[in-house]
Structure 1
Amino acid sequence: MGTTTRDEVRRLVAALVEIETENPPGNERPCAEYIADWFADRGVGADLIEEPDEDRPQVAVRVGDGDPTLVLNGHIDVVPAGDPTEWEYDPYGAAVVDGSLFGRGSVDTKTGVAIGMLATARLADKIDAGDLPGSIVFHAAMGEETAEPGTKTLLERGYDGDYGVVLEPTGLRAATREKGLAWYEIRILGEPSHASRPDQGRNAVLRARPVLDALAEYDATVRERTDDLVGWAYSTVTMVDAGMKENVIPESATITVVRRFLPDEEIGDIDAEIDSLLAEVEAEHDVETSWERTRTYESAAISADSALADIFRRHSAEVGDAPDEPWGIEASTDMRNFVNDANTEAITWGPGDLAQAHTYDERVDLEAAADGLHALLGASCEILSSGLESNAARE
Structure 2
Amino acid sequence: MAKVENQIIDLTSRLIQIPSVNPPGYTVNIAGFIKDWLNNLGFRSEVREYAKDKPNVIARVGRGKPVLILNGHMDVVPPGDETKWVYPPFSGKVVEGRVYGRGATDMKGGLAVIMTVFAELAPLVERQGSGTLIFSATADEETGGHPGVEALVRDGVLIGDAAIVAEPSGGFRYYIGEKGLCQVKLVAVGRPAHGSLPILGDNAIMKLVRAINKAEELINEFNRGIKLPSELIDAIKNSAEVYLEASRASGLNLTLSDFERVVGTVSFNPGVVRGGSKINMVPDHAELELDMRVPPGVSPNQVIDYLRNGLGGMADVEVLDISEPNYTSPGETIVRLIHEGIERVLGVTPKPIIVTGATDGRYLRARGIPTVVYGPGELALAHAYNEYVTVEDLLRTHDVMVYAVKRFFGLEK
Secondary structure at the counterpart of residue 153 of structure 1: helix
How many angstroms apart in 2 are the aligned matches of 1:7 and 1:248? 66
Deviations 1:157-201 (Å, cap 9, x if unpaired)? 333221111111112323333221222222233455676776665
How far apart are 1:290 and its partner, in Å? 2.7
Residue from 229, 242, 264 that aligns with 2:274: 242
How many angstroms apart in 2 are the aligned matches of 1:325 and 1:385? 25
How many angstroms apart in 2 are the aligned matches of 1:257 and 1:8? 44
- The answer to whether residue 383 in structure 2 is matched with residue 358 in structure 1 is yes
Counterpart contact for 1:189–1:251, Cα < 8 Å: yes
- The answer to whether residue 137 in structure 2 is matched with residue 140 in structure 1 is yes
How far apart are 1:387 and its partner, in Å? 11
Deviations 1:253-278 (Å, cap 9, x if unpaired)? 33222221122112321220221233
Q: Superposed, which structure 2 residues align to 1:320-339 within 5 Å?
A: 320=346, 322-339=348-365
Secondary structure at the counterpart of residue 307 of structure 2: helix
Residue aligning to 2:102: 104
How many angstroms apart in 1 are the aligned matches of 2:381 and 2:320? 26
**Residue segments in structure 2 that go unaligned for 5+ positions in a row:** 237-262
- The answer to whether residue 334 in structure 2 is matched with residue 302 in structure 1 is no
With normalisation by structure 2, the TM-score equals 0.82
How far apart are 1:45 and its partner, in Å? 0.9
Residue aligning to 1:3: 2
The RMSD of aligned alpha carbons is 2.7
The one-letter code of the counterpart of 1:60 is I
With normalisation by structure 1, the TM-score equals 0.85
Secondary structure at the counterpart of residue 267 of structure 2: strand
Secondary structure at the counterpart of residue 52 of structure 2: coil
Secondary structure at the counterpart of residue 91 of structure 1: coil
Residue aligning to 2:248: none
Counterpart contact for 1:81–1:360, Cα < 8 Å: yes
More helix by share: 2
Counterpart contact for 1:147–1:296, Cα < 8 Å: no
Residue aligning to 1:392: none
The one-letter code of the counterpart of 1:102 is Y
How many angstroms apart in 2 are the aligned matches of 1:82 and 1:184? 27
Distance 1:272 1:18, change over 3 A: same
Distance 1:237 1:324, change over 3 A: closer
Residue aligning to 1:391: none
Deviates most, 267-276 or 90-99: 90-99
Secondary structure at the counterpart of residue 27 of structure 1: coil
Distance 1:235 1:214, change over 3 A: farther
Residue aligning to 2:240: none
How many angstroms apart in 1 are the aligned matches of 2:201 and 2:9? 60
How far apart are 1:115 and its partner, in Å? 0.9
How far apart are 1:238 and its partner, in Å? 4.1
Residue aligning to 2:241: none
Deviations 1:297-338 (Å, cap 9, x if unpaired)? 322223222222111112122443653354433332222222
Distance 1:124 1:85, change over 3 A: same
Residue from 102, 116, 119 that aligns with 1:118: 116
How many angstroms apart in 2 are the aligned matches of 1:248 and 1:99? 60
How many angstroms apart in 2 are the aligned matches of 1:387 and 1:191? 73
How far apart are 1:202 and its partner, in Å? 4.6
Counterpart contact for 2:175–2:374, Cα < 8 Å: yes
Counterpart contact for 1:315–1:378, Cα < 8 Å: yes
Q: Superposed, which structure 2 residues align to 1:1-395 within 5 Å?
A: 2-51=1-50, 53-128=51-126, 130-131=127-128, 133-149=130-146, 150-155=148-153, 156-172=155-171, 173-191=173-191, 202-224=202-224, 225=226, 228=233, 229-230=235-236, 231-243=263-275, 247=279, 249=281, 250-279=283-312, 282=313, 287=314, 289-320=315-346, 322-341=348-367, 343-385=368-410
Deviates most, 225-234 or 179-188: 225-234
**Residue segments in structure 1 that go unaligned for 5+ positions in a row:** 389-395
Counterpart contact for 2:31–2:137, Cα < 8 Å: yes
Secondary structure at the counterpart of residue 136 of structure 1: strand
The one-letter code of the counterpart of 1:50 is E
Counterpart contact for 1:71–1:163, Cα < 8 Å: yes
Secondary structure at the counterpart of residue 235 of structure 1: coil
Distance 1:192 1:39, change over 3 A: farther
Counterpart contact for 2:276–2:285, Cα < 8 Å: no
Secondary structure at the counterpart of residue 296 of structure 1: strand
How many angstroms apart in 2 are the aligned matches of 1:74 and 1:175? 15
Secondary structure at the counterpart of residue 289 of structure 2: strand
Identity of matched residues, %: 28
Secondary structure at the counterpart of residue 133 of structure 1: coil
Deviates most, 21-30 or 197-206: 197-206
How far apart are 1:16 and its partner, in Å? 1.7
